[in-house]
């Protein structure tokens, strides 16, 4: 049974893409293995850089999460947020700095012996550093009654305005 020209072209194109992918992935894998071996040989020199990257990662991920939480609180409970704004921002900054510093320090400790890698401490710290901001965001979104996992800005003109408490709504006045 002969293939139709469109099916033959699709099959040929698929083979070309598979061969291209194999041709590109193999050299990238070889470079990755050699880079990993280089890092392992010079782990004491890379240890500080990797720990610094862990600190920066913690600052970014936890900082974005804290910023989003502060915005959520300011929208959900404006009077409470206005009253305790300085404390909320100060506490958030302190928590972000402490978690980022702890992540960097524990990463530094976990990379002390190349013979013990992969180290349980490094794996646990990296996992916590990724899951902590995600877990906090998911939990906060559920508590606030917002669907989805990723915080998304509302379309222009469709922003939710905070409701006034205590006063009659527009519908009851009409």
- Read off the pLDDT of residues 120-141 as tens digits, 9 standing for 90 and up: 888 888 899 889 888 888 888 8
Whether the Cβ atoms of residue 69 and residue 146 lie closer than 8 Å to each other: no
**From the CB of residue 65, how many other CB atoms can be counted at a distance below 10 Å?**
22
| pLDDT of res. 150 | 60
| pLDDT of res. 148 | 63
Q: Is the pLDDT of residue 174 over 60?
A: no
In the chain, what are the domain boundaries? 44-145
Q: pLDDT class for 173, splitting at 50, 70, 90? A: very low
At residue 58's C-alpha, the angle toward residues 82 and 48, to 5°, is: 145
| pLDDT of res. 101 | 95
Place of tokens 């990993």: 36
Q: Is the pLDDT of residue 154 over 60?
A: no
Name the 3-class secondary structure at 119.
coil
Half-sphere exposure of 131 (CA within 13 A, CB side): 6
Closest by alpha carbon to 47, among 104, 108, 101, 100?
Answer: 108
At residue 8's C-alpha, the angle toward residues 5 and 9, to 5°, is: 85
Name the 3-class secondary structure at 157.
coil
Q: Would the pTM count as exceeding 0.75?
A: no
Q: Would you call 89 exposed, middle or buried from its count of C-beta atoms within 10 A (0-12, 13-18, 19+)?
A: middle
What is the C-alpha to C-alpha distance for residues 41 and 21, in angstroms, rounded to an integer?
Answer: 30
| pLDDT of res. 144 | 78
- Read off the pLDDT of residues 29-79 as tens digits, 9 standing for 90 and up: 899 999 888 888 888 888 899 999 999 999 999 999 999 889 888 988 899
Percentage of the chain modeled with pLDDT above 90? 29
| pLDDT of res. 159 | 54
| pLDDT of res. 1 | 55
| pLDDT of res. 149 | 59
- Read off the pLDDT of residues 87-104 as tens digits, 9 standing for 90 and up: 999 999 999 999 999 999
């Amino acid at each position: 049974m002969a293939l139709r020209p469109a099916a033959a072209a699709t099959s040929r194109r698929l083979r070309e893409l598979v061969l291209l992918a194999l041709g590109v992935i193999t050299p990238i894998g070889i470079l990755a293995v050699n880079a990993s071996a280089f890092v392992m040989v010079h782990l004491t020199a890379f240890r500080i850089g990797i720990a610094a990257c862990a600190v920066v990662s913690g600052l970014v991920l936890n900082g974005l999460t804290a910023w989003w939480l502060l915005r959520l609180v300011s929208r959900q409970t404006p009077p409470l947020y206005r009253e305790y704004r300085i404390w909320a921002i100060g506490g958030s900054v302190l928590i972000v700095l402490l978690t980022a510093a702890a992540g960097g320090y524990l990463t530094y400790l976990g990379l002390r012996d190349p013979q013990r890698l992969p180290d349980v401490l490094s794996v646990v710290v990296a996992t916590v550093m990724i899951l902590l901001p995600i877990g906090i965001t998911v939990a906060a979104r559920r508590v606030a009654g917002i669907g989805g996992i990723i915080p998304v800005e509302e379309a222009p003109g469709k922003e939710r305005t905070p409701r006034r408490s205590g006063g009659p709504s527009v519908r009851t006045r009409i």
